[in-house]
Structure 1
Amino acid sequence: MTQPAIASAEEARDVIRTLDETIAALAEVLEEEDRLVRAGRLSEVARLSQAKNGHARRYLADSLRLRDSLPRLRGELGGEMDRVKERHAAFQDRLQRNLAALATAHAVSEGIVRGVAGELTRTAAPQTYGASGRTPIPDPRHARPLAVSRSL
């Protein structure tokens, strides 16, 4: 659903205030998420997704409303728009750090699961020597299924 365009400078200031509040709330959620990821409490990170998604939707909606009304209101808002752009840039930097932390946690988790799966496959394969005198690469037919419980 498209929100109505901002009609006045006062309404734009209200949207800016709301946007600042949303950025602050979203930054708090990101800090909590980063803290939980660093502590290895990944199952608790999932409970933050609803709040994070709600704040992100509000942030996007208000940002787009402001952006779409900017050409018409730039003269009335003066330096306020420069301050909004600075806060937006700082928030984008914060968001990039959060995404990097989540990507690192994902890569580490994936590496652990792949390592366990590889070890299970290796130990399930017959321990013999091939024609070259070396142990052969494990045959995928000897692979054991790996189940992961997400509720831990």
Structure 2
Amino acid sequence: MQQHPQRQPATAPAPLAGTPAEARKLAENLMDIMSTLLGIIERETELMRAGKVREAMALEPRKTELSRRYVGAITHLKARQKDLQQSAPELLTTLHRHHDTFRAMLQVNLTVLATAHAVSESIIRGVNTEMQRRSMPNTYTATGQRALPGSRHNAPIAVSRSL
């Protein structure tokens, strides 16, 4: 019987942005979430660059939770954007700058993850090619050229994705 993980309790809705104080609280909530998530992303990037994949994977649950909170805060902010523009336009500008920095760091993280993926895939393909080469018979044609084995000699490689 499969057990499903318990759902996280819904977080309290973010404050309305009708007054400058409410707008500031909404913006501070979003900036706090982005800063915390950015710290996790930077740590993951450092670990991946150092080749510490297991340690980087251990950050995943926290990163997932913060990402969920970030999406919720952004959704709430979009719903209150007009209120925020009227009550605190300078705060909205600050949020945009903070978000641009966040997006740039996220792009660096995604590049590092894509590079790690490409390198690991290349290694696996290289190992598979070498194993295939060793298991294929060495035969030659009548003209002395090495014969390429048929597709029946190609075997896929099985890889366990769990670390």
Q: Same fold (TM over 0.5)?
A: yes
Structure 1 residue 131 displacement after superposition: 4.4
Contact 1:29–1:52 (CA<8 Å) still a contact in 2? Answer: yes
Q: Pick closer, same or farther for the CA change 1:106–1:132 going to 2, 3 Å.
A: farther
CA RMSD of aligned residues (A): 2.1
Partner of residue 122, structure 2: 111
Q: 1:128 to 1:88 in 2, by over 3 A?
A: same
Q: After TM superposition, give the deviation of residue 50 of structure 1 in Å.
A: 0.5
Give the counterpart letter for 2:39 in structure 1.
E
Scaled by the length of structure 2, the TM-score of the pair is 0.82
Percent identical across equivalent pairs? 37
Quickly say closer, same or farther: Cα 1:82–1:132, change in 2 above 3 A.
farther
Match of 1:16 in 2: 27
The Cα of 1:145 is off from its aligned counterpart by 4.7
Distance 1:127 1:52, change over 3 A: same
CA drift at 1:85? 0.4
Stretches of structure 1 that go unaligned for 5 or more consecutive residues are: none
Structure 2 unaligned spans of 5+? 1-9
Q: Counterparts of 1:81 and 1:112 in 2: how far apart (Å)?
A: 46
Higher helix share: 1
Distance in 2 between the 1:132 and 1:67 partners? 72
Q: Which residue of 2 aligns with 1:128?
A: 139
SS in 2 for 1:40: coil
Q: Secondary structure at the match of 2:159?
A: coil
Count of equivalent residues: 151
- Provide the residue aligned with 1:6 in structure 2: 16
Question: For residue 48 of structure 2, what is the amino acid of its counterpart?
Answer: V
Write the letter of the residue equivalent to 2:150: D
Aligned counterpart in structure 2 of residue 30 of structure 1, from 41, 44, 53: 41
